[in-house]
Every structure is written in C-alpha cells, then in structure tokens.
Amino acid sequence: MARTRILYVEDNAANLALVRKVLEHAGAYEVIGAATGEAGLESARASPPALILLDLDLPGIDGFELARLLQADPALATIPMVAISASVMKQERDQAIAVGCVRFIEKPFDIGELRAVVDQVLLRPSGR
C-alpha cells in the first residue's frame, strides 16, 4: 500500500525529524521536509502532497505568505494545510485560519494530538 505524502515546511531540523518519526512510525505516511517557504512551494508544485504541515515562522516567505501562495494556485488550493507554531497568540491562530489552514497545532505539540489531527484531516471525504 502506498504511503500518503505529507509536506512539512519547517526550518528547525529537530522538529522535522520528530514529526517524521512520529508520523512515519505506523507506515501510513511519508513526510517530506522543506526548510524554507520557497522550498515548500517548489516541493508542493513538483509533487503535490495530500497534506501540508506549515510552520508559520519561516525564513524568507513566512508561513502566512506561503499559505496565501498555495491557496492562489488552482493546482494546490485544495490541499489541506495545518499550521504548527510556537505562538499561542489568538491573533496568529485567527490569521492562520484566515489564510486557509484547517487546523492549528501549538508547539510544543502533543504527539497523540498531532497524529489525531493528521488522521482527521486526511480522512475527511471532501479533503477539506
């Protein structure tokens, strides 16, 4: 059975490694990493994933701008995005939802919550 591709745009290598380990453990998911917003956009365009996990605080194009660019691209606009951020400010949460993220996960995240959110988002029949 093919694994479901997830793109995680995250500039912190340790966070990427943790998410990769957590989500790939059961064998259902393949986590592709991108360290910048630009690399994330390029990766999504080259091989669209089923889900995009998005750090909001990125060098260059930040997560908010990347989300807007993804939403503006008809080939990528239907891919669900989940924001993952250390910011606990309500304004940032609201802004993430406003630019198209379907969920917001706070860092440091609970491993069970991360798995549950990814499973929930990917099992939605409409993909959204």
Contact 66, 36 (CB under 8 A): no
Q: Please write the tens of the pLDDT for every residue from 6-41.
A: 999 999 999 999 999 999 998 999 999 999 999 999
Helix and strand element counts for the chain (H, E): 5, 5
This model's pTM is above 0.85: yes
Q: Please write the tens of the pLDDT for every residue from 103-118.
A: 999 999 999 999 999 9
Q: Can you give the pLDDT at residue 1?
A: 67
H or E element that contains 36: none
Q: Can you give the pLDDT at residue 119?
A: 95
Domains in the chain, please, with CATH? Answer: 4-123 (3.40.50.2300)
Contact 77, 102 (CB under 8 A): no
Q: Please write the tens of the pLDDT for every residue from 58-98.
A: 988 999 999 999 999 999 999 999 999 988 789 999 999 99
